[in-house]
Amino acid sequence: MDESAMKGPISIRLPKAMMSELRAHLFQGDGDEHGAVIGASAVATARGLRFLGRRLFLAVDGVDYLPGHRGYRMLTADFVRQCALACADDGLAYMAVHNHPGTDSVALSGDDMASHRRGYPALLDILDGSPVGALVFAHQAVAGDIWLSKQNQLELDHAVVVGRTQETMYPSPRTLSGTDPQYDRQVRLLGERGQDILSAQKVGIIGAGGAGSLISEYLARLGIGHLVVVDFDRLDATNLPRVVGAKRSDLRPKWLPAPIARLLRYKAKHKVDIAKRVAQEANPRIQFEAIAGDITDSAVAQRLVDCDAIFLAADTMQARLVVNALCHQYLIPTWQVGAKVQVDPPTGKIQDVFSVVRQLVPGETCLWCNELIDSTRLAEEAASPEQRQAQRYVDEVPAPSVITLNAVAVAHAVNDYLFAVLGLLDADQMVTWTKCRPLDPQPAIELPRQDTVCPECVGRLGMGGLKPLPVRE
């Protein structure tokens, strides 16, 4: 792989289901060491090199994992070779895994490192360009020795277990950098460690309209360090009741008379630039990428692959398809938010009003499995505006939209993200999707289903850059 792109820390992300299986194998309650191999895709990004767990091979004690000649235990040459060939076939990096005693600190031993020096040069040849490495786990810690090449070896910085909640493990407990006193009141709930986690997060927001502008404001005020907001749309007068922080002068400056503005073809501000202004006023140190583009464009989607979380607040089937793929393929927890008013067109009678939040968990909950990506509408959206006009697909009547319906969904989603990313929820809590209806006092709880052969969640899980995203090139 291209080592010039390697800057920043090395991390690995593991789907919760994979980590649970690995934990049960490593920590059997016998106090002994056990072994396994993880096949992981590698994504080189500006925020460091990220490995994504794709396959898990458990070594059977007494067969694949035996007393060592030099160290305590070792994987057999046969098991190593089979796993390395399987990883090479799939274009995955090879990571040997074992466990040491301990709780929140762990390190590879001198024997471990000596065995890497003996074995990894030959393994790198089998892997044909993919990295090779070793991870050692304690109950709540992980350390790693990663060989990008025979000349370049680096230490693992941390591992993230991605599920309904997130768990970050380091080789040893980290020291805190100190929190800005402006966060005093929320630190009393989240702790300094929680605030520290938030300041290191990169979060993507798709859509900067009614819902997206609120998400961006909430995340900026909470102290998220880095936001990437995507929306190609510009402000128009009908957005003023919903886009937070939008000013009338964002449509056209006061000093510019309307006829001259028309003559000059003056354009209103992009919604992402309004979101950026609001975010920077709340937190001047925030890193804010405003992308006036479309998430279905390959180059735009690529800018989200190293996010720690994504919020989907754009209601097209194409955006759903791409963001659902980003979630499973790059192991990024995602929240879809929406608010809807369904009106019977002939009578104008309100049929349903709701705000909805759907958490997407990599490898577990998926918009495709739950039939929330309509293939007919997907095809309609893929057609050009002229084609749609010809086929009379254009929806003549703009959909109803109200700031308070958006706010209910957004507050619920950002709150859920906060508690999930800080590990404040019970790790075994199930994913539920909630619909709030102002006309019904009881919120509706839905249990998402999963199809075990789904090409979108199971098929893409942890594939990273090994599979193209469903975007336009």
Would you tell me which residues interact with Zn ion (CB under 5 A)?
109, 112, 366, 368-369, 454, 456-457
- What is the nearest approach in angstroms of Zn ion to the Cβ of residue 432? 17
Which residue, 97 or 369, has its beta carbon nearer to Zn ion? 369
Of 37, 38, 49, 36, give the one whose Cα is nearest residue 6: 49
Among candidates 359, 330, 324, which has minimal Cα distance to 445? 359
> Rounded to the nearest whole angstrom, what is the least distance from the CB of residue 144 to Zn ion in the complex?
12
Q: Considering beta carbons, is residue 33 or 90 the nearer one to Zn ion?
A: 33
- For 320, the 3-state DSSP assignment is helix
| Residues 405, 355 contacting (CB under 8 angstroms) | yes
Q: Minimum CB separation from Zn ion for residue 226, in Å?
A: 28
For Zn ion, the closer of residues 196 and 456 by Cβ is: 456
Beta bridge partners of 144: 135
Cβ density class 332-365: b for 16+ within 10 Å, e for less: bbbbbbbbbeeeeeeeeeeeebbbbbbbbbbbbb
- Return the H-helix or E-strand segment holding 359: strand 349-360
Residues 136/143, Cβ–Cβ less than 8 Å: yes
Judge whether 205 and 215 are in contact, CB under 8 Å. yes
Rounded CA-CA distance 249/241 in Å is 14
Question: Considering the complex, what minimum distance in angstroms separates the CB of residue 79 from Zn ion?
Answer: 16
Rg (CA), the chain: 24
Min dist. Cβ of residue 451 to Zn ion (A): 6
Residue 213 or 334 with smaller CB distance to Zn ion: 334
**Nearer to Zn ion (CB atom), residue 79 or residue 368:** 368
Nearer to Zn ion, 239 or 318 (CB): 318
| In the complex, minimum distance from the CB of residue 133 to Zn ion, in angstroms, rounded to a whole number | 14
